[in-house]
Amino acid sequence: MDPATLILSSLADGPKHGYALTKDIQGFADVRIAPGTMYEALARLERRGLIEPLESSDRRRPYRLTAEGALALGALLDSQRRIADVGLRRLASSTGTA
Amino acid sequence: MNTPERRARLLVCCYPPAWRARYGDEFVQLLVDEMAERPRSPARTADVVRSGLIVRLESAGLTGDALDPQQQARAGLGALGVAASAFLAAGVAIWAQLTIGWQWSAPAAPATRTGMLVMSGAMLGLALLAILGAVPLLWTICRELAGGRGRALVVPLLAVGLGSVTLIAGSIHFGHGWPGTGGHPWAGRDIVPGDVARFCWAATLWIMSYWAHPGTLASFPASEIGWMVVSPVALGAILIGAAKTLRRLQISARVLRYESWLGLAAGAAMAAFLAGAGSWIVSGSPAPRGLFRVGAIDSVGIVVMAAALIVAFRAAQRTLAAHPSRTVA
């Protein structure tokens, strides 16, 4: 799974900093994003305006989804759901199981 | 400072300064949090090193989409300049040895003779391209300085100036010290004037395999050993100063496009030089008198040149693909 999709999905329920993102994603996707990969994706998402940093009193800077990011995530997940639906339906018809 | 903090700060050095200024503190905190959970993780270290390299390549305009077209074009030109310089350092070291050898006697193998002619032609082409490329940049620098907008250029230009003076003066001085060319009457028998050959030899004296043989190295005069340390530092100052100047200079879209095309032409000349060097390596004939023997350092030089050529072509392509004209009014 693409780290950007995982990060956007994690931020869908509220702002999180880097380590909170790591733990949350590990919890719902069973994937641990390494720190370098995490910040590579965060920087790219910020450049594209899909997330934005929030002020922080310490070094743990939280990020939140922008309106554009929410739209992009919705479209992305919708597309993935359609692909998953087609794949599951075809799998079920070829093996006889759902 | 505690150990995880120190280790994290060390790892963050993998990233370029601009990235560290923006993300450094929060990234250090993430690493410290990770280390609290898993103190040792080679995979984490490898990931940070890989990611740092990717970000550095992006900031050099060699990959990704991190930069706007104008920045992309300038960063690409900087990368091209650095790659071409690395190529030239390795290439000149090989070429100077061979041309000095030819001062004594022409190579016996036709492949070596052809290779050297191709290398010399490519070297001349690269020198012409460097002059053609430098003219509009020097003009732009003069305009910036005259207009009072060149304060940010002063330090990098000083680095380029001091490095150049050191390298030129030192190469002239130490070029006379080589026992094979200094003042000998045979200068001019070669395809390249002896003065040029010995200047290039002295400028690249530090590129030698004796670094791996300290006993032999110690037999060199102390002044030459000192020069072998100073000359690469001077070259580094020129390169860093030139790259910083390029990044800070307000270059017009037309000049950027012109420099990009020159960069592609330089890539072609570098490819020709590499082919010439390959011809000499493959012919493998050291005759006469072992003057054209292929050493380990030459093989390393060929690898460096091949890698630099790939980077240079990539940088030139990305500079042209950036279409800088679209961002400049």
Question: Cα–Cα distance between A44 and B42 in angstroms, integer?
Answer: 25
Provide the pLDDT for residue B261.
87
Q: Does residue B52 belong to the interface with chain A, where contact is any CB pair within 8 Å? A: yes
> Which residues of B are less than 8 Å from A55 in CB distance?
none
Distance from CA of B11 to the nearest CA of A (A): 10
Question: Cα–Cα distance between B195 and B200 in angstroms, integer?
Answer: 9
The SS3 call for residue A53 is strand
- Please list the rounded mean pLDDT of every run of 10 residues in chain B (329 residues): 85 93 95 93 93 86 67 79 88 86 80 89 93 92 87 91 94 76 51 80 82 81 89 91 84 85 91 92 73 82 91 82 52
CA distances (Å), origin A98, targets A78, A79, A82, A83: 21, 21, 16, 15
> Which residues of B are less than 8 Å from A35 in CB distance?
27, 30-31, 34, 44, 47-48, 51
Contact B211, B231 (CB under 8 A): no
Q: Does residue B34 belong to the interface with chain A, where contact is any CB pair within 8 Å? A: yes
Q: Does residue B27 belong to the interface with chain A, where contact is any CB pair within 8 Å? A: yes
Question: Cα–Cα distance between A67 and A83 in angstroms, integer?
Answer: 25
Distance from CA of B78 to the nearest CA of A (A): 23
Provide the pLDDT for residue B67.
62
Residue B72: closest CA among B210, B251, B192: B251
A 43-82 → B contacts, CB under 8 A: 43-44, 47, 58-61
Question: Cα–Cα distance between B32 and B24 in angstroms, integer?
Answer: 12
Give the tens place of pLDDT for each residue, B92-147: 988 888 888 887 777 888 888 888 899 999 999 999 999 999 999 999 999 888 88
Residue B156: closest CA among B167, B145, B146, B170: B145
Question: In a mutagenesis test of the B interface, which of A21, A31, A40 is the best target, namely the one with the most B β-carbons within 10 Å?
Answer: A40
Tokens matching residue B160: 């380029």
Q: Which CATH number fits domain A3-95: 3.30.70.100, 3.40.50.720, 3.20.20.70, 1.10.10.10?
A: 1.10.10.10
Domain ranges (residues) in chain A: 3-95
Provide the pLDDT for residue B182.
47
Question: Cα–Cα distance between A52 and A3 in angstroms, integer?
Answer: 17
Provide the pLDDT for residue B242.
87
Question: Cα–Cα distance between B139 and B252 in angstroms, integer?
Answer: 12
Give per-residue burial for B44-79: e unless 16+ CB within 10 Å, then b.
bbebbeebbebbebbbbbbebebbebbbbbbbbbbb
Q: Pick from B22, B33, B47: which is nearest to A37 by CB?
A: B47
Residue B320: closest CA among B261, B266, B267: B261
CB within 8 Å: B33 and A18: yes
ipTM above threshold 0.85? yes
Provide the pLDDT for residue B65.
62
Contact B124, B130 (CB under 8 A): no
Q: Does residue B50 belong to the interface with chain A, where contact is any CB pair within 8 Å? A: yes
Contacts of A52 (CB under 8 A, 6+ apart): A46, A63, A64, A66
Query: Could you read off the pLDDT tens digit of each residue along chain A, which spans 98 residues?
Result: 789 999 999 999 999 999 999 999 999 999 999 999 999 999 999 999 999 999 988 899 999 999 999 999 999 999 999 999 999 999 999 887 54
Amino acid at the residue B139: W
CB within 8 Å: A34 and B47: yes
